[in-house]
Amino acid sequence: MIDLRSDTLTRPTEAMRAAMASAEVGDDVYAEDPTVNALEDRVAELFGHEAALFTPTGSLANVLAVRSLVGAGQEVLCESSAHIARAELGAHGAITGLTMRTWTHPRGQVDLAAIEHLFAPDMGPFFVATAAVSVECTHNFAGGAVLPIDDLTSLRAWADGVGTRLHMDGARIWNAHVATGTPLTEYGAIADVMAVCLSKGLGAPVGSLMIGGRDAIAEARVWRKRLGGGMRQVGILAAAGLHALDHHVERLAEDHEHARLLAEACGVDPDTVDTNIVVVERDDAGRFVAAAAEEGVRVAPVGPRAVRLVTHLDVSAEDARRAAAVLRRVAATPAG
Ligand SMILES: *Cc1c(COP(=O)(O)O)cnc(C)c1O
């Protein structure tokens, strides 16, 4: 089976397992795990921020990051198909007590006019106060779309002008970095706080980080523990992340090439594929998924009329060619 359902499906390589097995560890709740500390310092520095905090999931990193900007009874603005709005099971409302209002863009992009229209930091005792804006880069449900750095820079300038703050869900910021050549520090400079994942295309089995200022991270450390995310000798997992940063970032370019190949096979314009995710609009999504599976290619339905393909570390160039041949046949069968 060639599994294109998600880039979370990767399994640690032998070299990654060796790095994990030999990791130096300590109790991270005491901040005494040297491997976790090294990972946190390294990731903070990569993005030009003061500090970072290792978390078990990207969802927790997002909850901690957004709650550092937005309190109970306040709102965050985000795109309507953002992961924080759709795919975190309401955690921000359930845990933080915040609300969200959204703008909609088919490619998950920044729409500054819409954001300005929604923005309401102080409407007295009548309306929810906007405390922050959140952007997602790359944008998962918009098919791995990159948010151009110029748009992000304009958003940052606007936010500084009106005195509001920015969260970036950078679960796949590595893909944006490799696809565009934009330095990670430039993405870091856009955001007051970020979340990044090691467990997607980078191929670590577990692990994400919240990134931000020293005070925000200190407070997030308390909230992480409060929510049950204080982990002990977790350097074993942080070692996988460090290994991924050393060996699995630049190779994301191969995933992007493979995604273009698969897009072309499915009749999707490869120029609309920015990174490692391809969304194929099909009226027969159910049949498409079943027919592909029968020929050894697993793809994921996203609703009744779309199929998602994601390339990753465990999809070799040979796998991508084989999958493209299968999907070309499956896609050639007319819908209905
Ligand atoms: C995967 C993902 C996350 C975090 O997901 P977890 O499964 O909680 O690690 C956050 N944001 C985006 C855009 C993602 O794709």
Rg over alpha carbons for the chain, rounded to the nearest Å, is 20
* 120 and 223 fall within a common domain: yes
Give, for 18, the enclosing helix (H) or strand (E).
Answer: helix 14-21
Listed residues 247, 266, 283: the one ending a domain? 247
User: Could you tell me if residue 179 is inside a domain?
Assistant: yes
In whole angstroms, what is the distance from residue 73 CA to residue 53 CA? 25
Judge if the beta carbon of residue 58 lies within 6 A of ligand 1: yes
Mutate to test the pocket of ligand 1, among 197, 224, 302 (most ligand atoms within 8 A of CB): 197
Q: What is the CATH number of the domain that holds 311?
A: 3.90.1150.10
> What confidence score (pLDDT) does residue 333 get?
86
- Same structural domain for residues 233 and 258? no
Amino acid residing at 251: R
CATH number reported for the structural domain that contains residue 23 in this entry: 3.40.640.10
What residue ranges of the chain have pLDDT lower than 50?
none
Is the pTM here over 0.95, yes or no?
Answer: yes
The answer to whether residue 238 is domain-embedded is yes
- Biggest alpha carbon–alpha carbon distance for the chain: 61
171 Cβ closer than 6 Å to some ligand 1 atom: yes
Q: Which residue has the tokens 């863009």?
A: 105
Task: Tell me if 305 is assigned to some domain.
Answer: yes
Report the pLDDT value the prediction gives residue 303, as an integer from 0 to 100.
83
Q: In DSSP terms, which residues pair with 135 in a beta bridge?
A: 168
Q: Locate 189 and state its tokens.
A: 């400079």
> Ligand 1 in contact with 197 (CB < 6 A)?
yes
Ligand 1 neighbourhood includes 140 CB (under 6 angstroms): yes
Strands (DSSP E) found in 14-128 = 51-55, 74-79, 99-103
Residue 217 phi/psi, 5° resolution? -70, -35
The DSSP 8-state label assigned to residue 29 in this structure reads G
Would residue 3 count as lying in a domain? no
Of the residues 193, 222, 247, the one at which a domain ends = 247
How many domains would you assign to the chain?
2
The pLDDT of residue 336: 60
Please indicate, yes or no, if residue 1 is contained in any of the structural domains.
no
d(CA 91, CA 70): 13
Q: Is 120 inside any structural domain?
A: yes
- In this structure, the residue with its CA closest to atom 5 of ligand 1 is 58
What local confidence, expressed as pLDDT, does residue 334 receive? 78
Whether residue 256 lies inside any domain: the answer is yes
How much distance in Å is there from the Cα of 155 to the middle of ligand 1? 23
Mark whether 307 and 207 lie in a shared domain.
no
DSSP class per residue in 217-236: HHHHHHHHHHTT---SSTHH
Residues 6 or more apart in contact with residue 245 via CB below 8 angstroms: 42, 43, 46, 198, 202
| 302/177 same-domain check | no
Sort 116 into a burial class: Cβ within 10 Å, 0-12 / 13-18 / 19+.
exposed
Residue 144, domain extent: 8-247
Is residue 197 domain-shared with residue 318, that is, in the same domain?
no
Q: Residues 189, 300: one domain?
A: no
Same domain (yes/no): 198, 128: yes
Q: What is the full DSSP assignment across 242-276?
A: HHHHHHSSTTHHHHHHHHHHHHHHTT--GGG--SS
Same domain? For 149 and 257 the reply is no
Same domain, 288 and 230: no
Tokens of 258: 């493979």
Of 206, 232, 247, the residue at which a domain comes to its end is 247
Q: Is 194 in the pocket of ligand 1 (CB under 6 A)?
A: no
CA of 333 to the centre of ligand 1 (A): 33
Q: What is the pLDDT of residues 229-261, one digit of tens each?
A: 999 999 999 999 999 999 999 999 999 999 999
Q: Is residue 299 located within the same domain as residue 279?
A: yes
39 occurs within a structural domain: yes
My answer on whether 218 and 285 are in the same domain is no
Q: Is the dihedral of CA 31, 36, 37, 40 positive or negative?
A: negative
Are 186 and 326 within one domain?
Answer: no
CA separation for the pair 160, 7 (Å, rounded): 35
pLDDT at site 89: 97
